[in-house]
Amino acid sequence: MEPAPQLIHPPGGQDETERHHDASSGGPVPLEDEIAALWGELLDRPEAGAEDEFFALGGNSLTGIQIIERLARDYGVLLSVRDFYLAQTPARVAGLIERGRSST
């Protein structure tokens, strides 16, 4: 059994459960879509979707580390490099984050 991602508390007292809201609907944006948007930003691929694979979008080890650091800061869950690379898609990374959050 693999260990769950580590839950951390972001600096500055940020609430890691805070969700962004979709301006058009006013509702919360699904976590996998938030992560896809982050990938799109850091990979310069705004069309990145929840099922797109990291390396197929042009991801590399440096960008992977940047994403892992942003996920830790924004969501309060520290993913291992191994788990991140094995997950490969924003949807699977979202699942790891949810698993990390629920492990406490």
Contact 87, 77 (CB under 8 A): no
Please give the residue that has the higher pLDDT: either 53 or 101: 53
pLDDT value, residue 82: 96
pLDDT value, residue 22: 54
Residue 73 has pLDDT above 70, yes or no: yes
- Which residues, in sequence order, are bridge partners of residue 7? 77
Please state, in angstroms and rounded to a whole number, the distance separating the CA atoms of residues 76 and 21. Answer: 18
pLDDT value, residue 13: 43
pLDDT value, residue 17: 43
The reported pTM is 0.76
Q: Which stretches of the chain are assigned E, i.e. beta strand? A: 6-7, 77-78
Please state, in angstroms and rounded to a whole number, the distance separating the CA atoms of residues 81 and 65. Answer: 7
Tokens linked to 73: 């800061």
Half-sphere exposure (CA, 13 Å, Cβ side) for 78?
5
pLDDT value, residue 25: 58
The 10s digit of each residue's pLDDT in 5-55 is 665 654 444 444 445 555 455 668 899 999 999 999 999 999 999 999 999
* 3-class DSSP assignment, residue 28: strand
Please give the residue that has the higher pLDDT: either 18 or 59: 59
Q: What does the mean pLDDT of the chain come to?
A: 84
